[in-house]
């Protein structure tokens, strides 16, 4: 309530005669008894208020004090409620909080992925000084580790971690394809193959093969002999016919400038298993990733595996 509203009509006589002292005393008593006197209709907003005789009164200050006390109480209540809510949410699992639930999308729990150290003075494969795009780190250390809970495929370990070429060639279905790929590897000067495989508790089997050549140019040539946009050029066991997987999200790719990828899916109807496959080319290395499962093979673990292996090679 404004100070204009506190001034009674008798405080501003209109006949030019000053108000009697007794009237001032009456006004003071009235204001003290009725601090919330209603405003006089028609009183101009710019009119200067007259201070009653007998000293000023402060009903406005008391109203402000009451308002401050009320708001202090409200803030205290809401602060207590907010603290209790925050404590309750902090004590809940994320999946129990509406709007924050993040159920598993099928990704596997891999150990921490780190690239192996380079020999002293050796550049990374995509360093501008590394014209051959060579991986100087141990190829075996560039293999993606198995996820938690998976069973290791000991048949892919090879001698000292190097897989014989004939064992890699067994991934292809026909003898003709095995012979053709074997000759391509010989002609392109294959240096060695590192491989790793595992089976997860849900029955999904994964095999990763890393083939290393002398230079990135040679690896790119062999990559072109194994793949096309539409389908792989040599059928692997378990997928007599495959096609380019156009549902594979490009956002899952690590770095298209350093790692090239072709991913394929088995053409329906599937056999006993669905098989997914990907071919990668990163510098002097060509990688083959195969993943299969009885019935159907989930897309997310496959994409995750390909992405993580790409990161190690990139």
CA distances from 15 to 10, 19, 71, 94, 240 (A): 11, 10, 46, 78, 113
Q: CA 182, CA 165: separation in Å to the nearest integer?
A: 8
Pairing of strands 205-212, 242-244: unpaired
Considering the entire predicted model, what is its pTM?
A: 0.68
pLDDT tens-place values along the chain, 314 residues long: 444 444 444 444 444 444 444 444 443 444 344 444 444 443 344 444 444 454 554 555 555 555 555 555 544 544 544 444 444 434 444 444 444 444 567 899 999 999 999 999 999 999 999 999 999 999 999 999 999 999 999 999 998 999 999 999 999 999 999 999 999 999 999 999 999 999 999 999 999 999 999 999 999 999 999 999 999 999 999 998 999 999 998 877 776 679 999 999 999 999 899 999 999 999 999 999 999 999 999 999 999 999 999 999 99
Helical spans, DSSP H, in 202-298: 216-226
Angle at 159 between CA 146 and CA 219, to 5 degrees: 70
What is the phi/psi pair of residue 205, to 5°? -105, 135
Contacts of 191 (CB under 8 A, 6+ apart): 212, 213, 214
């Amino acid at each position: 309530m404004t100070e204009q509203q506190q001034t009674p009509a008798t405080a501003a006589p209109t006949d030019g005669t000053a108000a009697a002292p007794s009237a001032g005393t009456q006004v003071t008593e009235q204001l003290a008894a009725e601090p919330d006197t209603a405003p006089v209709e028609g009183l101009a907003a710019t009119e200067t208020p007259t201070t009653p005789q007998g000293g000023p009164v402060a009903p406005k200050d008391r109203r402000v004090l009451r308002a401050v006390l009320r708001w202090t109480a409200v803030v205290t209540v809401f602060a207590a409620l907010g603290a209790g809510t925050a404590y309750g949410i902090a004590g809940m699992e994320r999946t129990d909080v509406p709007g924050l639930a993040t159920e598993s999308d099928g990704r596997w729990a891999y150990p921490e992925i780190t690239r192996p150290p380079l020999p002293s003075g050796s550049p990374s494969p995509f360093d501008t000084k590394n014209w051959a795009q060579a991986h100087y780190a141990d190829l075996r250390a560039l293999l993606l580790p198995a996820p938690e809970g998976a069973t290791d495929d000991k048949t892919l370990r090879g001698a000292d971690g190097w897989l014989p070429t004939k064992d890699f060639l067994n991934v292809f279905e026909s003898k003709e394809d095995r012979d053709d790929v074997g000759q391509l590897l010989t002609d392109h000067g294959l240096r060695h193959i590192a491989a790793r495989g595992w089976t997860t508790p849900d029955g999904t089997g994964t095999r990763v093969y890393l083939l290393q050549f002398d230079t990135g140019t040679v690896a790119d040539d062999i990559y072109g002999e194994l793949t096309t946009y539409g389908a792989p050029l040599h059928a692997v066991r378990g997928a007599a016919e495959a096609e380019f997987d156009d549902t594979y999200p490009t956002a899952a790719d690590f770095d298209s400038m350093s790692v090239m990828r072709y991913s394929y899916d088995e053409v329906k109807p599937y056999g006993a298993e669905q098989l997914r496959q990907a071919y990668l080319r990163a510098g002097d290395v060509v990688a083959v990733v195969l993943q299969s499962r009885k019935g159907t093979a989930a897309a997310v673990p496959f994409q995750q595996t390909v992405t993580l292996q790409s990161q190690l090679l990139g």
